[in-house]
Chain A
Amino acid sequence: MNKKLTEKLAPGHSTCAGCGIPSIVRTVLGATEDPVVVINATGCLEVTTTLHPYSAWKVPYIHNAFENAGATASGVEAAYKVLKRKGLIKKNVKFVAFGGDGGTYDIGLQALSGMLERGHQVLYVAYDNQGYMNTGGQRSGATPMGANMETTPSGKESFGNQTDRKDIMQIVAAHHVKYLAQSNVAYIEDLAKKAKKAFETEGPSFLLVLQPCTNVWKYPTSQYVRIGKLATETNFWPLFEIENGKYVLNLDIKKPKPIEDFLQTQKRFKHLFAPENVEVIKTIQKNIDRKWKELLKKTSNK
């Protein structure tokens, strides 16, 4: 394996075959030359990299609890600020917090909000696999409409998850963060570029990265890049950034593929193709079209 790639997160971690989380971590951490300290919410990344007495981390790392990565990062960064002021630390250090969508959209939202609002110099990266995958695939506030999840299973009376995901980008943007971006592990260069920008930002920055989960989305492990790409090609997951309040579209999909192309690749959506759920797919497509129009309005600066 490329030595440069693994100099911060070593091989030997135990993420699932076909999991993109290590790629996200390595790409983000590889975007700075400065030393980094990692703060991690409870979740897939944490349990697969820190199994005592081993650790895959070659950089300083702290896991505290599920809902408090934002607060923990605030404390670490405040410690750095004061110790640097006192001349006890000479180097410039970067702080990166990683959380899953549960630790970001849901249980960790308050701590994240506090961290953003107070202006801590931290890059917060949410790897978004659209549910609580570390506990076996329950719905979160990031789960898309129609997904068959452990706590919102499809059945005679239900098409699965009833609501569309929370717009976490707008929530973070409302904190007047100077740089935030939506990215996708299937577009690794886009992610690297955004991580670099985020590291250069004054104050907090935020990256939301789509992370297809082979276990719960239920698709063959070899397919995560393809499925990630389909998410963007169908406008299910557009790539954009918000820099100093200005929206920028990073990939203009001129001819978006129908959402069925994305849905049919994963067993979590299989039930939607039953005759009684035709309308659900139509609603999903309608929502995607509406959100895409809204995004285009913002990115065209009208």
Chain B
Amino acid sequence: MKDKNTKSKRIALTGGAAAAEALRQINPDVAPVYPITPQTPIIEGFAKFEADGKVDTEIITVESEHSAMSAAIGASAAGARTITATSSQGLALMNEVLYIASGTRLPILMLVSARALSAPINIHGDHSDVMGARDSGWIQIFSENAKEVYDNTIIGMKLAEKVEFPVMVIMDGFTTSHSVEILETLPDEVVEKFVGKFNPSRSLLDLDNPVTFGPVSLPDSYFEFKIEQSKAIFDAKDEYLKIVKDFASVSGRSYDIFEKYKTEDAEHIIVLMGSTVGTAKNVVDELREQGKKVGLLKIKLFRPFPYKEVAEILKNAKNVAVMDRAISFGSVPPLYSEIINSVFSFQLSVFSYVYALGGRDIFAENIESVFEDMIKGEKFEGTKYLNAKNL
């Protein structure tokens, strides 16, 4: 490989390009890829790196997302550091094999440019696709902006290989994947050293120690496999915390399982994830200037979900509003459900809002209205839809 970046660089990149840049530095062994909007900038950027000889990766241009994940499973089981990327219908098509990747404990890293699900077809951003995969046994890390996409990609790769779970690093489709932001990349060797070499605990290509992957398990053993898997993904949280701490020491950038913003003395807290957090922080700042005790909690690690830690942050608030960018049909929205589960033992009012489905704009005034509802003490049941037409 040539043209190594030996220094940190301050550059302007889209979220997609930031992911591709981090992947270049990670230099994975295998990358099965299939195009879908708005994920394409990631795989196109990465393919150019491969074409220019900047990575040693075998790119497999598969014929569907189902095959992308299936090939990723094969490659990872064969001891190769493996990545892929997808979005929306692609993630839905992978659904069957997502469970196989996690059940086989394969450390695949997948970038997801989160997008609405059909029908009707819509190529724009929301969290419907990744929420549909929330029970598939993958670790899910949400990113607010291009800088976090870059950092989470590096953190996610290391985490996957450390805990032997597949990891989804999620960015908001278009809002993050296609918007240019300034970020600081790390020198190549720093990333290389941080991620380290992949030493799989078992591999198909360990010819002297043949392993059978993907056996049949009957009622006498299947249950225990699933219990162990469930325990292990919860345990992955501690490893995530260790890795972000290590990451802070090489990058100067600190992360936690979430980001709390002016929550210390806040009476009214909004909980949300993804790119809308930036706008919401501005709203918090403005209301704080008016003397209103408001704050926000940005969830980063959605799977495993940090119930106790979230409860710790929210327990002294009067009101909590949860802003979901997805609907769970016939149930309450997914993030709202998790927050209710976190704080069920407290005397706390938790309200549900859904916003920006299928790429609908969300404005500062919409977020302000959520805080105003709480400040006014307005109680309501069900879910309010922000910036939606009255039906």
Contacts and interface: CB of A to CB of B under 8 A. Distances in A.
Interface stretch (B113-121, B179-187, B215-223, B235-243): B215-223
A114 B210 contact: no
B211 A79 contact: no
Interface in A59-83: 59-65, 67-68, 70-83
A79 B75 contact: yes
A32 interface: no
Contacts, number: 162
B316 interface: no
B215 A71 contact: no
Interface size, A (range): 35 or more
Given A52-B217, A62-B213, A76-B75, A71 B56 contact: no
B58 A76 contact: no
B67 A111 contact: yes
Contacts of B206: 60
A144 B360 CA distance: 53
A64 B100 contact: yes
A302 interface: no
Given A68-B97, A75-B73, A76-B74, A60 B204 contact: yes
Interface in A81-113: 81-83, 85-86, 89, 91, 93, 110-111, 113
Contacts of B215: 50-52, 55, 63
Contacts of A67: 66
Interface in B31-81: 32, 56-58, 60-64, 66-68, 70-80
Contacts of B204: 37, 60-62, 76, 79
Nearest to A66: B96
Contacts of B80: 75, 78-79, 82-83
A57 B214 CA distance: 12
B207 A60 contact: yes
A65 B70 contact: yes
A99 B111 CA distance: 31
B214 A62 contact: yes
A31 interface: no
A258 interface: no
A240 to B, nearest CB: 28
Contacts of A71: 32, 62, 66-68, 70-71, 74
B218 A65 contact: no
Contact of B74 (A58, A75, A82, A118): A75
B77 A82 contact: no
A91 B208 CA distance: 11
B221 to A, nearest CB: 5
A52 B216 contact: yes
Interface of B: 29-30, 32, 56-58, 60-64, 66-68, 70-80, 82, 96-97, 100, 203-207, 210-218, 221
10 contacts: A52-B221, A62-B212, A65-B100, A74-B60, A79-B76, A89-B205, A110-B63, A110-B67, A111-B64, A111-B67
Nearest first, the 10 closest Cβ-Cβ pairs linking A and B are A75-B74, A75-B71, A79-B80, A68-B70, A79-B78, A71-B67, A63-B214, A71-B70, A114-B63, A75-B75
